[in-house]
Structure 1
Amino acid sequence: MLTQLTIKNYALIDELQVSFNNGLTIITGETGAGKSILLGGLSLILGKRADLASVKDSSKKCVIEGVFDIAKYNLKTLFKTQDLDYESLTIIRREILPSGKSRAFINDTPVRLDDLQVLGAHLLDIHSQHQTLQLTNDDFQFQIIDALANNDNYLSRYISEVKTFKSLSAEIEKLHSQKAESLKELDYNLFLLKELEEAKLVDGELETLESEYETLNNIEEIKDKLGQSHQLLDNEDVGITSQLRDIKQHLSKLVNYGSQYQSIYNRIDSSLIEMDDIFTEIENLEEQLEADPNRLEVVNLKLQTLHNLMQKHVVSSETELIAIREDLASKVTETENLDAHIAEKENDKEQLKTKLVSICKTIHNNRVKVIPKLIQQLESILATLGMPNAKFSIDLKQSNIFLSNGSDVLEFLFSANKGGQFNDLKKSASGGELSRIMLAIKYILSNYTQLPTIMFDEIDTGVSGEISNKMAIIMQEMSKAMQVFTITHLPQIAAKGDHHYKVFKQDIDEVTQTQLKKLTPEERIVEIAQMLGGVDVSNSALEHAKQLLN
């Protein structure tokens, strides 16, 4: 429940701090006194977007802070899910800075507005004329029925499973699209893959083939040059090796005359050894050389194939061609396996659909069971609220579509007059009737679920006299299990409260400010007397006020 509210620098409020208790709390005040300001401040700590125009002094920070006792609300799991520190006395604070930037805190932890809205929905329900219109909304009507049907666990399972079902359906649709695109490319990919596979690509082969081609294509010139080199090295008279041997012979006679001669001798000896080795290698190369036109043609064709493929795929090596071949093979395999993958996912979807149909059936049956009870309770309460001829017709039909809260299609119809035709609520109920229906529904819900603190903003619009007295009694009953606030202009309702606050304007230092004050028993008598007879309080109005309070 809301235990304390602090508002600083907001609208016509300079600074306000007020404490609240459980039970039924009444808030009264003249039109324009600032009751909407109070609601606006509360809305901010529930996650409503901030507006710099609502700040009283734009050069200062605006702060709205609410303290909530949540020990009985079973919200530890929610706090854990939202990654928040749980405190049985939880403090929510909103700040609007002079820059226009807004900040929100839960127990001094900075949070986003959507986090504030999630928690706020469990703490405070501000009932306004706008919320009354929820009565005509299917989702809200289902919430009423499901609360009585105790469908929470089934709906949680359904929401989780239907999320998976939709995700799976989207995945299957994506696979079908992928298959359609892949089939368009399959023939071309197979053609490209066949070309690359027939090329029998080997990593590093291009360089070897180019070398072999150059040799085979120039074999006569190579043989000629090797032969000439062979003769230059081995000619008996003028060959290099013969001359080196002669030089070595001459120098061998000088080695004993000094180290410098030994050094040059050693170098000539090394050169001779190297020349002999070169000669042997040239000789071997000559022996290996043999013209092979057939092999030259094979090598040439293979090179042409490789160069054509590299040009076609815009690459510069056979390594890149091999990578393309592997990628194409993977795409072809993936396309060929898509049917099996789709069939597997379709099977999973069908099993999940069977499970969802079963859950929907349970939810539907539970709803059907409680509808007569809901109708009976609604009509009974509304009869006490001056609507003795109010009748409801609630019809559920199962569809084959998975909707947000099951597969049911709901028809929630109303007739206000005896013998009248059933019609949509928004077409057949007036504003005052809708307010009474909403109060009846909130009362019924309070008996089946843990509602948060509720604030009724002039729910008594359009009613008076004995009916308002009955509405007050219903709010009193609700306040035994929860904290209830009601903003009212009717003395019959104001007199039923456990606590009474007055909103009023006051000029302080020539500045109009909104104030909120808890009334003493004596002040309360005067306030109710003024609600009965106007500002000039008569003795009869005072007596009437005392009677109402007693």
Structure 2
Amino acid sequence: MIERLHIRNYAIIEELTIDFSKGLTIITGETGAGKSILLGALGLVMGRRADIKSLYNLDSKCTIEGFFNVEAYDLRSFFDEHDLDFDPQVVIRREITPSGKSRAFVNDTPVTLNVLQDLSSTLIDLHQQFDNLDIHKVSFQLRLLDALAENRPLLAQYQSLFSAYQQDQKQLKTLIARQQQSAKELEFLQFQLEEFNTAELVDGEQEELEEELSRLTNAEDIKRTLAASFQQLSESEVSVIGQMEELTQAIKSVSSFDRRIEGLYGRFSGLVEELRDVAQEFESIADETEHDPERTQEVQERLDMVYRLQNKHQVASIKELLDIQADLQQQLDDIGDLSQEIERLQQSTQEQRQQLETMAEELSTRRHSVVGGFENKVEQMLAQLSMQHAKLKVDISRTEDLEPTGFDEVNFLFAANKGGRLQLIKDVASGGELSRLTLVVKSLVASAIPLPTLIFDEIDTGISGDVALKMGSILRQLSNEHQVVSITHSPQIASKANAHYFVYKKDKEDRTVTEVRPLEMEGRVYAIATMLSQDPPSESAINTAKELLLQSS
């Protein structure tokens, strides 16, 4: 709720402060005294565009400050979202410099006009004739109906599930798109993987195959060379090993004469044995080695296949090819896992949708159940406000698909006069009629829906007498649930105030300024009596004013 409005250097206001009641605050005054200027200043607090022409003194800056108690509002998340320090006492300030620069602050922190507009829209509901009232909005009409139907717990449950449903639907669409894209690549992946599976590669085999191919292609040279080497070492008449054996015996015969020769004998004997083993290895390899054209071709083909895969995938080893094979397999496995996840989400979203449809049906049933009573009450109250022939119809139609509020689309259709065609409220032109309709509708849901401070500007246009008295009673009743501020010319409405302010002009030496003063009982009697007759008021008007105030106390 707004607790105070402080204005300095704005229009014909030099400086003034208004403290607002928790209940119904009434502002009255002479025509042209500056009541609309107060709303203009409040509009700046709400984020409306500033104009240098608004400055009272062109050499000084204009400052408008609104002091609000937001303890009853759930605004902490808003403050966190916009990096503002949260406090139950909020000060919104607008400044306009002589150069025309405008700045906005929330608790001394600079903010943009968009942020200010979002915040103030939750704090102030300003009703001026021909303004775009909330009641025009389809979303607000649906909120009103849900409040009357006491749908809030069910709607919160529905919206929580609907949010999860939307997220799962979005994920499902993403996965299906990925699967469709993957399907295009599936055949190619399978072809590539089939090449690897057919190859049956083994890490390290390339080196073995290359060595084997070298051995096979040089088999004749290997066999001839090793056989000749074996012959020279072991089998010829003057074989190397035979000659070394003779030397061994000769060295042995003198080894006992010198320890050094004895050591050399041992080493030389070892060489002979080693050479004998080498000769046997030569013989064995020579015997095993055969020229095998079939095996040569087989090994060559195997290596050609390895080289072809390496060139294709631009790698240089079988290990790298095996890594690629594993990656291809993983891609195919992922496609399989994607199908399982899609199936799971399809099942989940189907179950969610069934639950949502059931809940949406219940929401719709509850909405339909309150429509008749709501229409009747609105028409009855409008009749009391001199709109005997006004008709309101709540039209509920179905949307093509589930929406965040179910599948109901709500439109209020209104006709102000007898025989008039029911039209969408936004197409109804009369500001006075709309103001009364808004007052009636919001008074009916005051205790069921969170509304901000309600400000009505000349809602009494075109009415007087008993009708105005009844409108004042509605405003007073509405103020039991919400803070209400009304600028009025009606004495009947003014008599219902919890706090009454009088706006007037005061002549100074060089100019006229607007002032505001709070009225106590005596001042209220005088102001209401003046509204009833003239200034100064007649005795009968004073008595009538006292009677009105007595009835309202």
> What is the DSSP-based 3-state SS (H/G/I as helix, E as strand, rest coil) of the residue aligned with 1:408?
strand
> What is the DSSP-based 3-state SS (H/G/I as helix, E as strand, rest coil) of the residue aligned with 2:34?
coil
Give the letter for the 2:535 counterpart.
S
Instruction: Indicate if the aligned counterparts of 2:230 and 2:279 stay in contact, CA closer than 8 A.
Output: yes
Deviation at 1:165, TM superposition (A): 2.6
Deviation at 1:544, TM superposition (A): 4.4
Deviations 1:109-164 (A, max 9, x none): 99999998887666544445576443232211111111110011111122122223
Note if 1:460 corresponds to 2:459.
Answer: yes
> What is the DSSP-based 3-state SS (H/G/I as helix, E as strand, rest coil) of the residue aligned with 2:37?
coil
In structure 2, the residue matched to 1:213 is: 213
Deviation at 1:413, TM superposition (A): 1.6
In structure 2, the residue matched to 1:540 is: 537
Instruction: Indicate if the aligned counterparts of 1:389 and 1:417 stay in contact, CA closer than 8 A.
Output: yes
Which is further off, 235-244 or 478-487? 235-244
Deviation at 1:424, TM superposition (A): 1.9
Deviation at 1:471, TM superposition (A): 2.6
Note if 1:30 corresponds to 2:58.
Answer: no
Provide closer, same or farther for how the CA distance between residues 197 and 4 of structure 1 changes in structure 2, counting only shifts above 3 A: same
Alignment match of 2:88 (pick from 76, 87, 90): 90
CA distance in 1 between counterparts of 2:242 and 2:131 reads 112
Unaligned runs of 5+ in 1: none
Mapping 1:23-422, distance limit 5 Å: 23-28=23-28, 30=34, 33-41=37-45, 43=46, 64=65, 66-68=67-69, 70=71, 73=72, 75=74, 90-93=88-91, 104=106, 123-128=123-128, 132-223=132-223, 242=244, 286=286, 289-335=289-335, 341-399=341-399, 401-422=401-422
Deviation at 1:521, TM superposition (A): 4.9
CA distance in 2 between counterparts of 1:353 and 1:436 reads 41
> What is the DSSP-based 3-state SS (H/G/I as helix, E as strand, rest coil) of the residue aligned with 1:446?
coil
Deviations 1:242-275 (A, max 9, x none): 59978x9599799768xxx999999999988987
Provide closer, same or farther for how the CA distance between residues 204 and 517 of structure 1 changes in structure 2, counting only shifts above 3 A: farther
CA distance in 1 between counterparts of 2:203 and 2:272 reads 40
| TM-score normalised by structure 2 residue count | 0.75
CA distance in 2 between counterparts of 1:65 and 1:254 reads 124
Instruction: Indicate if the aligned counterparts of 1:505 and 1:513 stay in contact, CA closer than 8 A.
Output: yes
Deviations 1:197-244 (A, max 9, x none): 101122333233223323323334445565677688779677899599
Instruction: Indicate if the aligned counterparts of 2:25 and 2:484 stay in contact, CA closer than 8 A.
Output: yes
> What is the DSSP-based 3-state SS (H/G/I as helix, E as strand, rest coil) of the residue aligned with 2:418?
coil
Deviations 1:260-304 (A, max 9, x none): x99999999998898788777666655554433322222211221
Instruction: Indicate if the aligned counterparts of 1:162 and 1:356 stay in contact, CA closer than 8 A.
Output: yes
CA distance in 2 between counterparts of 1:542 and 1:241 reads 160
Provide closer, same or farther for how the CA distance between residues 422 and 92 of structure 1 changes in structure 2, counting only shifts above 3 A: same
Provide closer, same or farther for how the CA distance between residues 417 and 128 of structure 1 changes in structure 2, counting only shifts above 3 A: closer
In structure 2, the residue matched to 1:493 is: 493
Deviations 1:343-372 (A, max 9, x none): 443333332222122111111111111111
Measured on the aligned residues, the alpha-carbon RMSD in Å equals 5.3
Provide closer, same or farther for how the CA distance between residues 239 and 483 of structure 1 changes in structure 2, counting only shifts above 3 A: same
> What is the DSSP-based 3-state SS (H/G/I as helix, E as strand, rest coil) of the residue aligned with 1:308?
helix
Deviation at 1:494, TM superposition (A): 3.8
Identity value in percent: 30
CA distance in 1 between counterparts of 2:426 and 2:411 reads 13
| TM-score normalised by structure 1 residue count | 0.75
Give the letter for the 1:188 counterpart.
F
> What is the DSSP-based 3-state SS (H/G/I as helix, E as strand, rest coil) of the residue aligned with 2:497?
coil
> What is the DSSP-based 3-state SS (H/G/I as helix, E as strand, rest coil) of the residue aligned with 2:445?
helix
Instruction: Indicate if the aligned counterparts of 1:502 and 1:519 stay in contact, CA closer than 8 A.
Output: yes
Give the letter for the 1:456 counterpart.
I
Instruction: Indicate if the aligned counterparts of 1:458 and 1:489 stay in contact, CA closer than 8 A.
Output: no
> What is the DSSP-based 3-state SS (H/G/I as helix, E as strand, rest coil) of the residue aligned with 2:389?
coil
Which is further off, 518-527 or 25-34? 518-527
Deviation at 1:414, TM superposition (A): 1.5
Instruction: Indicate if the aligned counterparts of 1:179 and 1:338 stay in contact, CA closer than 8 A.
Output: yes
Deviation at 1:377, TM superposition (A): 1.2
Unaligned runs of 5+ in 2: none
Give the letter for the 2:409 counterpart.
V
Give the letter for the 1:379 counterpart.
E
CA distance in 1 between counterparts of 2:222 and 2:58 reads 99
> What is the DSSP-based 3-state SS (H/G/I as helix, E as strand, rest coil) of the residue aligned with 1:379?
helix
**Rg larger in 1 or in 2?**
2
Which is further off, 391-400 or 304-313? 391-400
CA distance in 1 between counterparts of 2:233 and 2:7 reads 109
Instruction: Indicate if the aligned counterparts of 2:159 and 2:405 stay in contact, CA closer than 8 A.
Output: yes
Provide closer, same or farther for how the CA distance between residues 102 and 30 of structure 1 changes in structure 2, counting only shifts above 3 A: closer
CA distance in 2 between counterparts of 1:309 and 1:172 reads 37
CA distance in 1 between counterparts of 2:315 and 2:118 reads 57
CA distance in 2 between counterparts of 1:263 and 1:130 reads 125
Provide closer, same or farther for how the CA distance between residues 11 and 430 of structure 1 changes in structure 2, counting only shifts above 3 A: closer
CA distance in 2 between counterparts of 1:104 and 1:229 reads 102
Deviation at 1:420, TM superposition (A): 2.4
CA distance in 1 between counterparts of 2:314 and 2:295 reads 28
CA distance in 1 between counterparts of 2:514 and 2:356 reads 54
Deviation at 1:39, TM superposition (A): 3.5
